[in-house]
Amino acid sequence: MKSLLPILLLLSIVFTGCNNNRDTDSASTPTASTDALAIPALFERTGTLATAAEWPQTKGKIAELKARIAKNTSDVKARLQIATIYLTEARITGEHPYYYPAIEKIMDGVLSIDPKSFEATVFKASVKMSQHKFAEAKELAEKAKQLAPDNAYPYGILVDANVELGNYEAAVANSDKMQLLKPSLESYSRASYLREIYGDYAGAIEAMKLAVSAGLPGSEPQCWSRNTLAQLYLNINQLEKAEAEYKAILAVRPSYAFAFAGLAKIAHNRKDYKKALWLLDSAAAIMPEFSFHEQMADIYAEQGLQDKATAKFAEVESMLKQDAASGHSVSLEMCKLMLKMGKLEEARKYALEEYSIRPTNIDVNKELAWIAYKENNFKKATEYLQAALKTNSKDPELLQRAAAINKAL
């Protein structure tokens, strides 16, 4: 599956229509240790991102919030605001191995002060989603929904978690509820993704255009939506439209690494390998995202530069293992990587790890079908393929694999 739907505009969604969050005086606060309430430091930006206009403001705001907490350790609102900033920093910098555990620690601190904090519960659910701990995210989102039934945000997490767990009908129901409660960039983007899953590219594009229109111009959430819209155009081979979207992002946010990577996909498609690699180098210089390096490896392999491809794939493996060490589940990503490296046994091991957790997920079944095909087990490949095609997905790679498996039969 593509990267998870974003944790977007948390304050505007989480705090709207909910009064569960409150400053709590020490007399009514459960006892919590000083260490449990400590705030992890802001991760220092480097390179291009350190020169961005918002970085001094971000550092100043964190210093201000920490000063408030120093005066009143039970200042829940200040802690939640820090977590919001850290979530944004994680998305901008790609430093997920640092920020996700840091945010979870902050939320555990809030919950030690106020065990029924809706905001802390929903923040923690969001982090669990980002770490690919989908069942835990779903459980926390259900709890948050009970705490604030009229807040849209838990329904967004339930959409994401149910998609990943393969519960597609439940995902659609939660998406419909979210749109009723709050039509927004977040609800439109989820509707778009579900339409894509069900093979409706025209509908997915329409909904993602609404998401772009609903976003603050030039903001990171709007750029994410525009980037996703560009990927939809790429999937249906409308390269010029995709290119226009990527360039529009960079016109307002020159350090948006994923737009560079998107332009690299277009250059790769046009066999302009030199330009594609330059664009990916530019993206990787901005943030440590494993997919940029994996794209480089794919290009080296296509050029027949096997030594470079092997070295780059090994680099990707190291990055994924670093993510795993921070608590991020990366079995499906490792499965895909092992397949590219020709390590079928390891690919199967990682795929079956995911299958044991979410056996009805179409992306997991897609990989298992291809592994079985590579092993000449066409009967098993067909069984997995049927599960992967159950939503009528028009994913180009899935359809190519389906054609190969059907031909082999």
Instruction: Quickly name the fold that domain 256-329 has.
Output: 1.25.40
Cβ–Cβ under 8 Å, residues 338 and 353: no
Determine the 3-state secondary structure of 1 from DSSP.
coil
How far is the C-alpha of 143 from the C-alpha of 401, rounded, in Å? Answer: 40
Cα within 13 Å of Cα(289), Cβ side: 24
> Residue 351: left if φ>0, alpha if ψ -120 to 50, beta else—which one?
alpha
Cβ–Cβ under 8 Å, residues 123 and 14: yes
In this prediction the pTM is 0.87
Asked if the model's pLDDT at residue 148 lies above 60, the reply is: yes
Q: What is the mean pLDDT of residues 352-370?
A: 98
Higher local confidence (pLDDT), 29 or 180: 180
Cβ–Cβ under 8 Å, residues 219 and 202: no
Asked if the model's pLDDT at residue 25 lies above 70, the reply is: no
Cβ–Cβ under 8 Å, residues 199 and 189: no
Sign of CA dihedral 21, 27, 32, 33: positive
Average pLDDT, the chain: 91
- pLDDT for 18 equals 44
- pLDDT for 118 equals 96
- pLDDT for 295 equals 98
Q: Give the DSSP per-residue string, 313-348.
A: HHHHHHHHHHHHHTT---HHHHHHHHHHTT-HHHHH
- What is the separation, in whole angstroms, between the first and last Cα of the chain? 26
Cβ–Cβ under 8 Å, residues 290 and 333: yes
Asked if the model's pLDDT at residue 30 lies above 80, the reply is: no
The burial class, CB within 10 Å (0-12 / 13-18 / 19+), for 288 is middle
Asked if the model's pLDDT at residue 379 lies above 70, the reply is: yes
Q: Which residues contact 176 (CB under 8 A, 6 or more apart)?
A: none
> What is the CA 139 to chain-centroid distance, rounded?
19
The burial class, CB within 10 Å (0-12 / 13-18 / 19+), for 307 is exposed
Which tens digit of pLDDT belongs to each residue from 183-223? 999 999 999 999 999 999 999 999 999 999 999 999 999 99
Which tens digit of pLDDT belongs to each residue from 328-340? 999 999 999 999 9
- pLDDT for 319 equals 95
> Which residues in 82-188 belong to E strands, given as ranges?
none
Which tens digit of pLDDT belongs to each residue from 260-283? 999 999 999 999 999 999 999 999
Cβ–Cβ under 8 Å, residues 100 and 109: no
